[in-house]
Amino acid sequence: MKKSLIFTLLGVALVVALTSFMSITTLVKGLFSDKKASAAAPANAVAPAKTLYDFTVNTIDGKPVALSAYRGKKVVILNVASKCGYTPQYADWEKFYKEHKDKIVVLGFPANNFASQESGSNSEIATFCQKNYGVSFPMFEKVSVLGTDQAPLYKWLSTPALNGWNDKTPTWNFCKYVVNEKGELTNFFASGVKPNDAEFKKAVGI
């Protein structure tokens, strides 16, 4: 076997090993993270380099949507999954959306970053959400919410130089980011926080 081929195979093996290690590290960190953790923009937060309105994303059926369409409303951004212990939160957020959608919109972004709990296609996810939870809030194409392939929106949400203050990436499925009527990030909430929790209600002003 030629040396070049050996080095190539060793390189591939190393990449696979590193990827597996990173996946396990992410899994462990998620499992032991505080599921009720939260963070809020400090009073001295710097002006963000971008706002929510600078992004265009695709709906779950592939149609581009400029997020500037939500200007003037608060926005709650969720990374969702179909096979997670938190999946029943779909019902909580659907109820919240129906009650408050005139002032607050909920946006769902399927992601397969945690324990492969969202492995389906976009069409399968859409069918699951409608059939099991009657989801009517806007759902978008599956994205990666952390790592080297992190979606631009989630890079903004978790990079202080871009959003002005926050460095928290999702620690598991159903983390929440709250954006105000000006498109500025104001709050982060971990997976265990639900719409009726006092701290969340305070963050969205209800």
- Domain ranges for the chain: 1-32, 35-204
User: 179-202, pLDDT tens digit by residue?
Assistant: 999 999 999 999 999 999 999 999
> Where in the sequence numbering do the catalytic residues fall?
84
Return contacts of 161-168, CB within 8 angstroms, 24+ apart. 161/49, 162/48, 162/49, 162/50, 163/48, 163/49, 163/50, 164/41, 164/45, 164/46, 164/47, 164/48, 164/49, 165/41, 165/42, 165/45, 165/46, 166/39, 166/41, 168/37, 168/39
Query: CB-based contacts of 54: which residues, under 8 Å, 6+ apart?
Result: 67, 156, 183
With beta carbons less than 8 A apart as the criterion, state whether 141 and 57 touch.
Answer: yes
Predicted TM-score (pTM) of the model is 0.86
Give the whole-angstrom CA distance, residue 167 versus residue 156. 9
Distances (CA, A) of 83 to 45, 119, 120, 156, 176: 36, 9, 10, 26, 18
Going by their DSSP bridges, the two strands 104-110 and 74-80 should be labelled as parallel
Give the whole-angstrom CA distance, residue 116 versus residue 57. 22
Beta-carbon neighbour count of residue 203 at 10 Å?
Answer: 21
Is residue 146 pLDDT above 90, yes or no?
yes
pLDDT: which is higher, 67 or 12 = 67
How many DSSP H helices and E strands does the chain contain? Answer: 6, 7
Going by their DSSP bridges, the two strands 64-66 and 185-189 should be labelled as unpaired
Beta-carbon neighbour count of residue 166 at 10 Å?
Answer: 23
Rounded mean pLDDT of the chain?
Answer: 90
CATH (residue range 35-204): 3.40.30.10
Per-residue pLDDT, 25: 60
Which residue type sits at 138?
Answer: P
Mean per-residue pLDDT, 90-101: 98
Per-residue pLDDT, 2: 55
With beta carbons less than 8 A apart as the criterion, state whether 165 and 46 touch.
Answer: yes
